[in-house]
Amino acid sequence: MARLNRGRGVALRALPALAALTAMAWADVAIAQAPPGSTGRIRVALRDFDNVMGRPEHAKFGRALVEMLTTDLESTGRLQLFERERLDRVLAEQKLQHTEHFDKSTVVELGKLTGIAYLISGSITAGGKDKLRIDARLTDATTGEVVLTARVMSTTDGLFEAEEELAERLKARLMPAARGGAPTPPPRGPTVAARSVDRGVLRRAAARSADPGKIYARSHAVVIGIDAYPRLTPLKAGVADARAVAGVLRGRGFEVTTLLDGQATLRRIRQVLSHDLYEAVGPQDRVLVFFAGHGQTHGPPDREMGYLMPFDADPIATSGISMSELQKWFALYQAKHVMFVADACYSGLAVAERAAGLAPGTRDYLARITSKPVRVALVAGQRDQKALEEGGQGVFTRFFLDALAGAGDVDRDGLITSDEIAVFVKRRVSQHVWQRHSRRQDPKVAAEGDGEFVFFVGGDRAATR
Domain boundaries, the chain: 4-26+211-463, 34-179
Provide the pLDDT for residue 39: 41
- Using CA atoms, how far residue 446 sits from 75, 125, 155, 376, in Å, is 12, 35, 34, 6
What are the backbone dihedrals phi and psi of residue 72, each rounded to the nearest 5 degrees, phi first? -70, -40
Query: Residues 383-411, buried b or exposed e (16+ Cβ, 10 A)?
Result: bebbbbbbeebbbbbbbbbebbeebbbbb
Q: Where does 4-26+211-463 sit in CATH, by number?
A: 3.40.50.1460
Provide the pLDDT for residue 16: 44
Q: In this predicted model, what pLDDT tens digit does every residue of 55-69 receive, in sequence order? A: 666 667 777 788 788
Q: In this predicted model, what pLDDT tens digit does every residue of 89-100 receive, in sequence order? A: 888 787 765 555
β-bridge partners, 464: 216
165, with CB counted inside 10 A (0-12, 13-18, 19+), is middle
Provide the pLDDT for residue 138: 93
Residue 80 host element (H or E): strand 79-81
Provide the pLDDT for residue 2: 34
Provide the pLDDT for residue 337: 96
Longest distance between any two alpha carbons in the chain, whole Å: 65
Provide the pLDDT for residue 239: 96
Q: Is the CA virtual torsion 175, 180, 185, 189 positive or negative? A: negative
Q: Which residues of the chain have a pLDDT value below 50?
A: 1-10, 14-39, 183-203, 205-206, 208-212, 347-363, 462
Provide the pLDDT for residue 96: 67
C-alpha to C-alpha distance for 454 and 415, rounded to whole angstroms: 7
Provide the pLDDT for residue 196: 36
Provide the pLDDT for residue 177: 59
Provide the pLDDT for residue 58: 63
Domain 34-179 top-level CATH class:
alpha beta
Provide the pLDDT for residue 189: 37
Q: Write the DSSP string, 395-439.
A: HHHHHHHHIIIIIT-TT-SSEEEHHHHHHHHHHHHHHHHHHHHS-
What is the DSSP code (8-state) at residue 276? Answer: I
